[in-house]
């Protein structure tokens, strides 16, 4: 096997995994801060979570195992976003059908606004939950010892 000067050392790989665990802790703090309405530490948790997700996602100096674990986390995070988009489509369709039924019965269009429940209209919560899904998928693959394919 030829020498690769760009290959990560064991310490660099351990640091990368530690960054992911730190990001998970910061993401949990961010979710708790959001749910309790306490915004005193949410800025720091938001900065740590976002920075560590970016570092773990865009780093390309790690081995195949780390990349596979990271990819599992990315699949989990993107799955949350896909489910969010699908739920929004279903609710929008239901709202449209309800508006059409109201128009048919009453002869005028109802004033329903957007018609999507508050949780689905909250992009900040979506970002927190998608980040948490990324970290949980990363942790799941790391604890299992291999990424799920």
pLDDT tens sequence across 59-113: 777 778 888 888 999 999 999 999 998 888 887 777 766 667 766 777 666 565 5
* Domain hosting residue 31, numbered range: 10-144
So what's the pLDDT on residue 121? 73
Calculate the alpha carbon distances from 35 to 21, 60, 108, 119, 128 in Å.
21, 34, 39, 12, 11
Q: Flag whether 134 is in a domain.
A: yes
**CB-CB neighbours of 61 under 10 Å:** 11
Angle formed by the axes of helices 123-144 and 10-36, nearest 10°: 140
Q: Flag whether 5 is in a domain.
A: no
Number of domains in the chain: 1
Q: 60 burial class (0-12, 13-18, 19+ CB within 10 angstroms)?
A: exposed
Q: Flag whether 4 is in a domain.
A: no
Q: Flag whether 1 is in a domain.
A: no
So what's the pLDDT on residue 133? 95
């Amino acid at each position: 096997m030829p020498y690769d000067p760009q290959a990560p050392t064991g310490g660099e790989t351990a640091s990368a995994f530690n960054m992911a665990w730190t990001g998970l802790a910061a993401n949990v703090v961010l979710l708790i801060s959001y749910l309790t309405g306490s915004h005193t530490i949410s800025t720091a948790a938001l900065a740590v979570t976002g920075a560590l997700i970016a570092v773990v996602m865009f780093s390309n100096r790690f081995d195949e195992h780390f990349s596979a674990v990271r990819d599992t986390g990315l699949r989990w995070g993107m799955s949350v976003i896909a489910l969010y988009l699908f739920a929004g489509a279903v609710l929008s369709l239901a709202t449209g059908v309800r508006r059409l039924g109201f128009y048919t019965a009453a002869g005028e269009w109802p004033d329903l606004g957007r018609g999507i429940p508050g949780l689905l209209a909250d992009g900040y919560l979506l970002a927190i939950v998608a980040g948490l899904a990324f970290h949980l998928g990363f942790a799941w693959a790391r604890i299992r010892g291999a990424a799920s394919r």
